[in-house]
């Protein structure tokens, strides 16, 4: 082969490779579009099924209803479904909660305690997507497209997300891994899997010399699957007005986290703030 032919062939190969690279879907752009499908719609409503597991402690299934507007109003209701297993079954009732925000003040009602908390809503943050869905468009997170899979008959991009975790305060020491499944046709989220490794679990067994091993990290996994959604459908204004149930008392202090509500700051089942 002549040098000229070789150079021509090499140039063609490099051109083809560059075209292929530029045509590959951008994971960060896909996630941003999925987040905006929720946050920028005039109204957004959806139903989700979430399975939460903590290994030998068992698992539980939750149903979550979410309603929100693009001016910051939000309604999130989480209820246990079925009995659950292991120790998680006993605590399933604590997962029953309702979060309501009028865009300025957020209320979180815990049914099992017949108590609620209230707090101001952070600027440019909607409680409906600042918890479970924060990883969709979190500042400083890393996104990687790893393939395609079908979710409930829909072909989806599979994207690994590595959120940037705080080094101090709530969320410090936690190690989350998030996998998002985004519909290739509509650009909307269909499923999200989160695995959260948390320090400070129960101490490990003795090493045989009378010394107890370091605490075993706790691992919680959750899988959220979209059941239905509506975009720009009317939502009654009363949805975003919180009225305490009879006998409910207000709790003072910090926000309590939960598998379905907007907990303390930090990604995964604890929540993360989108940009």
pTM for the whole structure: 0.74
| Residue 274 belongs to some domain of the structure | no
Instruction: Check: CB of residue 96 under 8 Å from CB of residue 80.
Output: yes
- Kindly tell me if the per-residue pLDDT of 91 is higher than 70: yes
| Residue 55 belongs to some domain of the structure | yes
State the burial class of residue 256 (Cβ atoms within 10 Å of its Cβ: 0-12, 13-18, 19+).
middle
Domain count, the chain: 1
| Residue 17 belongs to some domain of the structure | no
pLDDT, tens only, 130-163: 555 666 666 778 899 999 999 999 999 999 998 7
| Residue 2 belongs to some domain of the structure | no
| Residue 255 belongs to some domain of the structure | yes
Q: What is the pLDDT of residue 266?
A: 36
- Kindly tell me if the per-residue pLDDT of 201 is higher than 60: no
- Kindly tell me if the per-residue pLDDT of 120 is higher than 80: yes
| Residue 272 belongs to some domain of the structure | no
CATH number at residue 110: 2.50.20.10
Q: What is the pLDDT of residue 71?
A: 87
Choose from 38-52, 119-133, 203-217 the range with maximum mean pLDDT.
38-52
Q: What is the mean pLDDT of residues 190-217?
A: 72
Residue 208: which residues within 8 A CB-CB, separation 6 or more? none
- String of DSSP letters for 90-144: HHGGGG-EEEEE-SSEEEEEEGGGTEEEEEEPPTT--TTTSSTTGGGSBTT-EEE
Helix (H, G, I), strand (E, B) or coil at 14: helix
Question: What is the span of the domain harbouring residue 218?
Answer: 25-259
Look at strands 115-120 and 249-250 and give their pairing: parallel
Q: What is the pLDDT of residue 265?
A: 36
Where is pLDDT greater, at 22 or 5? Answer: 5
Instruction: Check: CB of residue 63 under 8 Å from CB of residue 79.
Output: yes
d(CA 46, CA 88): 25
Residue 102: which residues within 8 A CB-CB, separation 6 or more? 73, 240, 241, 242
Q: What is the mean pLDDT of residues 233-251?
A: 95
Q: What is the mean pLDDT of residues 245-265?
A: 63
- String of DSSP letters for 49-77: EEEEE-GGG-EEEEEEEEEEETTS-EEEE
Mean pLDDT, the chain, whole residue set: 78
Instruction: Check: CB of residue 78 under 8 Å from CB of residue 217.
Output: no
| Residue 10 belongs to some domain of the structure | no
| Residue 9 belongs to some domain of the structure | no
Residue 236: which residues within 8 A CB-CB, separation 6 or more? none
Helix (H, G, I), strand (E, B) or coil at 275: coil
Q: What is the mean pLDDT of residues 189-209?
A: 74
């Amino acid at each position: 082969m002549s040098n000229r032919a070789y150079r021509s062939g090499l140039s063609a190969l490099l051109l083809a490779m560059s075209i292929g690279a530029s045509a590959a879907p951008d994971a960060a752009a896909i996630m941003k579009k999925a987040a905006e499908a929720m946050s920028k719609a005039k109204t957004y409503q959806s139903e989700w099924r979430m399975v939460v597991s903590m290994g030998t402690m068992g698992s539980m299934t939750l149903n979550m209803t979410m309603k929100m507007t693009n001016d910051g109003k939000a309604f999130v209701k989480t209820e246990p479904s079925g009995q659950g297993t292991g120790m998680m079954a006993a605590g399933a009732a604590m997962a029953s909660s309702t979060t309501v925000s009028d865009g300025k003040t957020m209320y979180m009602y815990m049914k099992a305690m017949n108590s609620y908390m209230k707090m101001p809503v952070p600027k440019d943050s909607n409680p409906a997507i600042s918890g479970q869905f924060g990883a969709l468009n979190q500042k400083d997170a890393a996104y990687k497209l790893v393939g395609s899979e079908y979710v409930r008959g829909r072909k989806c991009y599979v994207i690994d997300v590595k959120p940037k975790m705080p080094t101090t305060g709530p969320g410090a020491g936690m190690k989350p891994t998030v996998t998002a499944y985004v519909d290739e046709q509509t650009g909307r989220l269909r499923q999200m899997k989160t695995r959260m490794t948390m320090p400070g679990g129960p101490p490990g067994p003795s090493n045989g010399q009378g010394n107890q091993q370091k605490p075993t990290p706790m691992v919680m996994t959750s899988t959220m699957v979209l059941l239905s959604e509506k975009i720009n459908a009317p939502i009654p204004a009363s949805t975003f007005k919180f009225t305490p149930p009879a006998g409910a008392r207000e709790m003072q202090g910090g926000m309590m986290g939960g598998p379905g509500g907007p907990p303390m700051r930090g990604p995964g089942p604890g929540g993360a703030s989108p940009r």
